[in-house]
């Protein structure tokens, strides 16, 4: 059991059920200063219930609390400050890590059930945006966290490869595009055409009609339209692959929106059978009680984003029999997912309760939203490349003799970009800043990777044997031990709250505690403490590496 849970349980028994165990768990605090104790329980709320002074209650509780993990308590101003049995805890946590290595912190709540994760899902013929990067790294981390809890994660890249934008693109390409130029630099050129379309359409609205007509042709299987579409799709996919390759991300499925083209009639039919389809201004909709109606078919007969998502949900349930189905998509699409999930509920599928939109905030540039239409985007591939170059420059400066410099620079550069995203709670907007991402000190990925490399080099120098004696009394490493002890709890909560930032923040705390420990004692000093201290260092490398892996990052041994 984890410390806070265990303390809450002990307090619950001491208090004879006057507060629930859950409530107590929330009330337990970490004191501001280490010398005040490891945890602390405020007695003010209990004082109100019992109509007694907190100063009277605190010593009563302190006297009755009994647990093998508690060493002693102190009373300070209405608080019971709790000091833990350091040696008991240190021995238990270090023994676990030595035995389990990277499996430390693995949970079993998943029980082999399936979680599908809809992630990344960029739009074909447009650049891979920062928003899609957010979806990619958050989704990938959630998949890794799910697997850590024993779920089977299915990563689905629901590519935006169908829709009215292809009508626009075909019109623009036919009017202003040149084949050789597009072939040379597909994403950039297609984006230019897309931007030009929107500029010209402002003064020539008939362009929009032409675009609609071309999309209709595409939906009807027109040969020329299909060929162009396939070409755009192919070129874009090749570009996206480069990015996935750099990030080290693979998908179990890349079935995008077009995959559902022949699966939508069935949805429409099912909706008709269940008498859910209503006509509204020539369009087909499903009316919803507290939400705007969900559009299923437009008046011109063309289908919609929502229809494809309905078909996709059915397909995923039938194919994977998921227990949960996550959609890692920006919070501007909240209404869309509410509508889609509601329609599935109305259709009578009990599995609708496993569908979850995992929204995230925007990536801002100078406080403003980045928009593809106006061409104001930062190209992700160049961001990643720049990050790797900067990492290389840093390495050349700090460690010119390092072998595999290029490979390490790739790990560090991508790590910087991933961590810059995941250290923030996902719903917060993030200011895009190359400079911040690439700082190698402070709250950054490279700082964590560097800490790992530093610890690893100590292990090499100390010729560490992991089978060492794991019984320890190491007051100087206590803050590190407490962090190590918390790891299983943190990863379990990060999963259940779909929040990788909890792992990111945790790793920062662990690295800080470790660096303090590292700075305060000479670890390789040949005293009788050396083996115990080096065991702590080993445990730190294991947990740092595993924590970084759960964020989708790697931990170089040297940098
Ligand atoms: N391609 C969409 C976009 O960029 C995201 C797709 C998300 N997934 C889904 N099943 N709707 O806006």
Q: Which of 186, 166, 320 is nearest to 228 (CA)?
A: 166
Total number of residues shown for the chain: 559
Is 308 a pocket residue for ligand 1 (Cβ < 6 Å)? no
Substitution site in 136, 157, 158 for ligand 1 pocket (most atoms within 8 Å of beta carbon):
158
SS3 content of the chain, % helix, strand, coil (to 5): 60, 10, 30
Q: In angstroms, what CA-CA distances link 1 with 154, 244, 533, 546?
A: 30, 38, 25, 20
For range 397-402, the mean pLDDT: 92
222 assigned to some structural domain:
no
Ligand 1 center from residue 410 Cα (angstroms): 28
310 assigned to some structural domain:
no
Q: What are the tens digits of pLDDT across the range 447-495?
A: 999 999 999 999 999 888 776 565 677 889 999 999 999 999 999 999 9
Helix (H) / strand (E) element for 369: namely strand 368-369
Q: In angstroms, what CA-CA distances link 273 with 238, 304, 347, 534?
A: 42, 20, 10, 68
331 assigned to some structural domain:
no
ipTM associated with this complex: 0.99
Ligand 1 center from residue 415 Cα (angstroms): 25
Q: Provide the CATH number for the domain around residue 41.
A: 3.30.1360.70
Substitution site in 120, 333, 380 for ligand 1 pocket (most atoms within 8 Å of beta carbon):
333
CB atoms within 10 A of CB 150: 14
Domain, as residue range, for 27: 3-84
Q: Which of 43, 41, 39 is nearest to 3 (CA)?
A: 39
Query: Which residue owns the Cα nearest ligand 1 atom 6?
Result: 121
Is 123 a pocket residue for ligand 1 (Cβ < 6 Å)? yes
Residue 51, phi then psi, degrees to nearest 5: 50, 45
288 assigned to some structural domain:
no
164 assigned to some structural domain:
no
Atom of ligand 1 nearest to the CA of 329: 7
Q: What are the tens digits of pLDDT across the range 101-134?
A: 999 999 999 999 999 999 999 998 888 888 899 9
Instruction: Tell me what percent of the residues of the chain surpass a pLDDT of 90.
Output: 78
Pairing of the two strands 39-42 and 79-84: antiparallel
**Interatomic CA distance for residues 224 and 214, integer angstroms:** 10
Q: What are the tens digits of pLDDT across the range 132-177?
A: 999 999 999 999 999 999 999 999 999 999 988 899 999 999 999 9
Q: What are the tens digits of pLDDT across the range 251-304?
A: 999 999 999 999 999 999 999 999 999 999 999 999 999 999 999 998 877 778
320 assigned to some structural domain:
no
Ligand 1 center from residue 310 Cα (angstroms): 13
Q: Are the C-beta atoms of 154 and 117 separated by less than 8 Å? A: yes
pTM (two decimals): 0.92
Count structural domains, the chain. 1
- Report the SS3 class of residue 250: coil
Substitution site in 119, 120, 121 for ligand 1 pocket (most atoms within 8 Å of beta carbon):
121
Ligand 1 center from residue 515 Cα (angstroms): 42
234 assigned to some structural domain:
no
47 assigned to some structural domain:
yes
Is 309 a pocket residue for ligand 1 (Cβ < 6 Å)? yes
């Amino acid at each position: 059991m984890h410390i806070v849970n265990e303390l809450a349980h002990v307090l619950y028994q001491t208090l004879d059920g006057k507060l629930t165990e859950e409530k107590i768990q929330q009330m337990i605090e970490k004191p501001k200063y280490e010398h005040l104790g490891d945890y602390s329980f405020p007695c003010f709320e209990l004082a109100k219930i019992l109509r007694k002074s907190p100063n009277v209650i605190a010593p009563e509780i302190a006297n009755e609390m009994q647990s093998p993990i508690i060493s002693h308590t102190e009373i300070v101003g209405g608080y019971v400050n709790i000091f833990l049995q350091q040696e008991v805890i240190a021995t238990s946590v270090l023994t676990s890590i030595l035995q389990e290595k990277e499996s430390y912190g693995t949970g079993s709540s998943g029980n082999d059930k399936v979680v599908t994760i809809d992630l990344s899902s960029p739009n074909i013929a447009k650049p891979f945006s920062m928003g899609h990067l957010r979806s990619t790294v958050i989704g990938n981390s959630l998949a890794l966290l799910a697997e850590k809890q024993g779920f089977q994660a299915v990563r689905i890249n629901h590519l935006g490869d169908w829709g009215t934008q292809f009508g626009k693109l075909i019109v623009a390409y036919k009017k202003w595009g040149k084949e050789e130029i597009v072939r040379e630099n597909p994403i950039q050129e297609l984006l230019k055409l897309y931007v030009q379309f929107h500029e010209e359409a402002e003064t020539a609205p008939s362009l929009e009609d032409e675009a609609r007509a071309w999309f209709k042709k595409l939906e009807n299987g027109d040969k020329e339209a299909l060929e162009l579409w396939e070409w755009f799709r192919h070129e874009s996919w090749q570009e996206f692959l480069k990015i996935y390759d750099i990030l080290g991300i693979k998908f179990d499925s890349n079935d995008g929106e077009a995959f559902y083209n022949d699966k939508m009639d069935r949805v429409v039919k099912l909706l008709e059978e269940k008498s859910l389809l209503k006509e509204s201004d020539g369009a087909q909709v499903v009316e919803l009680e507290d939400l705007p109606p969900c559009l299923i078919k437009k008046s011109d007969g063309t289908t919609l984003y929502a229809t494809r998502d309905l078909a996709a949900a059915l397909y995923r349930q039938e194919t994977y029999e998921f227990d949960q189905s996550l959609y890692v998509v920006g919070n501007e699409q909240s209404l869309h997912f509410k509508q889609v999930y509601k329609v599935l509920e109305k259709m009578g599928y009990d599995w609708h309760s496993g569908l979850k939109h995992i929204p995230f905030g925007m990536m801002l540039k100078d406080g403003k939203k980045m928009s593809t239409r106006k061409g104001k985007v930062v190209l992700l591939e160049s961001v990643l490349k720049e990050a790797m170059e900067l990492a290389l420059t840093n390495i050349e400066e700090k460690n010119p003799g390092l072998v595999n410099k290029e490979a390490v620079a790739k790990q560090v550069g991508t790590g910087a970009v991933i961590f810059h995203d995941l250290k923030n709670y996902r719903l917060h907007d993030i200011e895009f800043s190359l400079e911040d991402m690439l700082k190698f000190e402070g709250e950054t990925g490279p700082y964590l990777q560097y800490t790992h490399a530093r610890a690893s080099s100590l292990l090499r120098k100390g010729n560490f044997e992991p089978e060492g004696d794991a019984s320890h009394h190491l007051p100087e490493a206590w803050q590190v031990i407490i962090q190590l002890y918390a790891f299983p709890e943190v990863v379990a909560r990060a999963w259940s709250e779909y929040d990788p930032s909890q792992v990111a923040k945790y790793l920062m705390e662990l690295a800080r505690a470790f660096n303090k420990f590292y700075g305060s004692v000479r670890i390789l000093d040949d005293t009788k403490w050396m083996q115990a201290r080096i065991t702590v260092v080993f445990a730190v490398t294991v947990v740092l590496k595993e924590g970084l892996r759960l964020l989708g990052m790697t931990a170089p041994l040297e940098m």
